[in-house]
Structures are given as C-alpha cells and as structure tokens.
Amino acid sequence: MAEMKYTDDHEYILVDGDVGTVGITKYAQEQLGDVVFVELPEAGKVFSKGDEAAVVESVKAAAEVYAPVSGEIIEANGDLEANPGLVNEDPEGGAWFMKIKFSDKSEMDGMMDADAYAKFVEEQG
C-alpha cells in the first residue's frame, strides 16, 4: 500500500515499494502563489538526500525542491513542464514532480505522516 510522507521543506513523497513520487504540498503551493514555471531533473540523474532536484517559480518567488531521499530519478512529470499551472490545481496529485528509486529507504524514518505534517503547518501559520 502506498504511504505519504512529508518533509519540513514542504515536499511530499508517496512511497510505493522502492519508488517514491515527489512533489510539493498544497501548503507550499499556497505560499508560492500561481506557479508559472517548473524545471525538473532528467531520468537517470542521481541525487543525495537534501540535494536541489527541481525548481519551481511563481509570480511571487522561486523555490528549490529538494530530494527527500537519495536515489535515481526514474521519471519526471513532463506534463508539468508543458503546463506548470497544474501545480496550482492539483499539487498533491497529478502535479507530481518526479519519481525516485530509493537507494536507502531508511532515510524516510524522520519524515512526518499526514497528521504530524498538518500540525507542523498549523504551527507555521
């Protein structure tokens, strides 16, 4: 069964076996405002946890999207580069950024579940 985890940088990772689907949370999208550009990594690129993996730009700001785990990018969401506005509509669904094959699944041990993330966001506000 797939499991959603969250980082304190407001990325999510939907874990399914040894692959994680990564994107930004609804809260992150709301803070950015209207997203107008997304730069995604190419398949085959390898990242360490915490590396800058993608860039998202809005009418208000630009922000980095960090790799929540170490691993190899197996797919980037090409729909986003053609239509970055999808992030505004469905940040935690169809507007995922990349899929990463884990090199060390234990790196997720410190990540938040949905309840912990909701509390974290509440404390931000």
Q: Give the start-to-end residue ranges of the domains of the chain.
A: 3-104
Residue 2 has pLDDT above 80, yes or no: no
Global confidence as pTM: 0.94
Query: How many CB atoms lie under 10 A from the CB of residue 111?
Result: 20
Residue 22 has pLDDT above 90, yes or no: yes
Q: How is domain 3-104 classified at the CATH fold level? A: OB fold (Dihydrolipoamide Acetyltransferase, E2P) (2.40.50)
Give the pLDDT band (50/70/90) at residue 28: very high
Is the Cα dihedral 39, 44, 47, 49 positive or negative?
positive
CA 103/CA 48 separation, integer angstroms: 9
Alpha-carbon distances of 24 from 13, 76, rounded to whole Å: 9, 14
List pLDDT tens digits, range 78-110: 999 899 999 999 999 999 999 999 999 999 999
β-sheet bridge partners, residue 21: 14, 99
Residue 1 has pLDDT above 70, yes or no: no
